[in-house]
Each structure stands twice: as structure tokens, then as C-alpha cells.
């Protein structure tokens, strides 16, 4: 039996599956100084629903036989520098990309990224940015393959 894989724009019906996967991911990657809030379930669902409704947001899912196995959330906005010395630019920001463990290394993440970049290009964004775990070689390699290169380093120091 052939597995049917599809990359498509997210729908309201996808939010519950995205919610579960994203929250589980947050629970597994939190560092020792990061504690999941007691109300994380409701806060995450509220935030995700709000993001889904926002006109600047976009999202894509990878589904296999109707089950969401990956997702990407992003937004397009006019960016202004701080201090405001650079002319505003329309950029896309990829907030999160997730692919379930059993479906990794099959090109799903790349397909999600490509879909978002194309949508951003069509919305007249001049650039796309994201953040990723610098210590995760697979993640860094995937972003590099997608044409992303480090520009500014977001560093973190535990006290």
C-alpha cells in the first residue's frame, strides 16, 4: 500500500494535532532553566489559534494519510530596525518547523521550508529569517541546504 504524503496550507482542523506535537517538542527540548508553565496546554492552544487567525501568519502541514506528521509556522511583516536607522523591509520569519521522528530524513522539512519561502516570495518579502538550534547538526545542515546562512548570532549564557 502506497503512503500518501501531502504538503498543504494549514487549516483550523490541523490546530489540535499541531498543538499536541509542538507542546510535546517543547517538553523534550527545554533546558534546565526552562520550565513548562502549568497552564501550557491552554496557553499554547490560545496562542496557536490567535496566530492562525492573524492575517500576517502562514502555516503549512505535512500529512500522511490524513495525519499531521510535520508543520511549519511563519509570518510576514514589515521589519524596522532598532534604532530606526534602516528603512523598513518586508520580511518573512519562520517561527517553527517540526517533523515527527518517524518521518525525519525524508525531505519533509525541506518541502515545508520551500513552501513557506515560495509563499513569502509571492507576498513580496525580500528576505526570510529563522532561528535554529546551533548544536543540532541535522537542523543546521537542513537550513544551509535551504539557502540560509548565519547572519547574527543569538547567544545565550546561563547564570
Query: Who's near 71: CB < 8 A, 6+ residues apart?
Result: 10, 14, 18, 21, 22, 59, 60, 61, 62, 96, 97, 98, 112
Over the chain, what is the mean pLDDT?
90
Query: Where do the H-state alpha helices sit in 34-77?
Result: 40-53
- Do residues 76 and 90 make contact, with C-beta atoms less than 8 angstroms apart? yes
Residue whose C-alpha cell reads 497552564 in the numeric block: 39
Predicted pLDDT at 155: 81
Task: Summarize the confidence of residues 83-109 as an average pLDDT.
Answer: 92
Q: What is the spatial distance between Cα 150 and Cα 130, in angstroms, rounded to a whole number?
A: 10
Please identify which residue in the block is written with the cell numbers 513569502.
120
Rounded distance between C-alpha atoms, residue 103 and residue 129, angstroms: 24
pLDDT mean over 28-48? 87
* Structural domain spans, the chain: 5-145
Q: Which of 95, 118, 103, 108 lies closest to 142 in space, CA to CA?
A: 108
Work out the average pLDDT over 48-69: 94
Residue 83: is the preceding peptide bond cis (ω within 30°)? yes
pLDDT band for position 57 (50/70/90)?
A: very high
pLDDT at 2: 55
pLDDT single digits (tens) 116-135:
999 999 999 999 999 888 78
Looking at CATH, the fold of the domain delimited by 5-145 is given as Aminopeptidase (3.40.630)
The pTM of this model reads: 0.88
pLDDT at 157: 83
Q: Would the pLDDT of 108 be above 90?
A: yes
Amino acid at each position: 500500500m502506497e503512503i500518501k504524503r501531502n504538503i498543504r496550507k494549514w487549516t483550523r482542523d490541523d490546530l489540535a494535532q499541531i498543538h499536541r506535537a509542538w507542546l510535546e517538542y517543547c517538553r523534550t527540548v527545554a533546558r534546565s532553566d526552562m520550565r513548562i508553565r502549568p497552564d501550557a496546554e491552554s496557553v499554547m492552544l490560545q496562542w496557536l489559534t490567535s496566530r492562525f487567525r492573524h492575517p500576517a501568519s502562514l502555516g503549512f502541514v505535512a500529512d500522511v494519510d490524513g495525519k499531521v506528521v510535520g508543520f511549519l509556522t511563519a509570518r510576514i511583516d514589515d521589519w524596522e530596525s532598532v534604532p530606526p536607522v534602516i528603512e523598513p523591509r518586508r520580511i518573512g520569519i519562520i517561527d517553527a518547523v517540526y517533523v515527527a521522528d518517524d518521518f525525519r530524513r525524508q525531505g519533509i522539512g525541506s518541502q515545508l521550508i520551500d513552501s513557506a519561502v515560495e509563499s513569502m516570495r509571492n507576498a513580496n518579502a525580500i528576505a526570510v529569517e529563522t532561528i535554529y538550534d546551533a548544536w543540532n547538526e541535522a537542523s543546521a545542515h537542513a537550513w544551509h541546504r535551504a539557502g540560509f546562512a548565519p547572519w547574527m548570532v543569538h547567544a545565550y549564557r546561563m547564570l
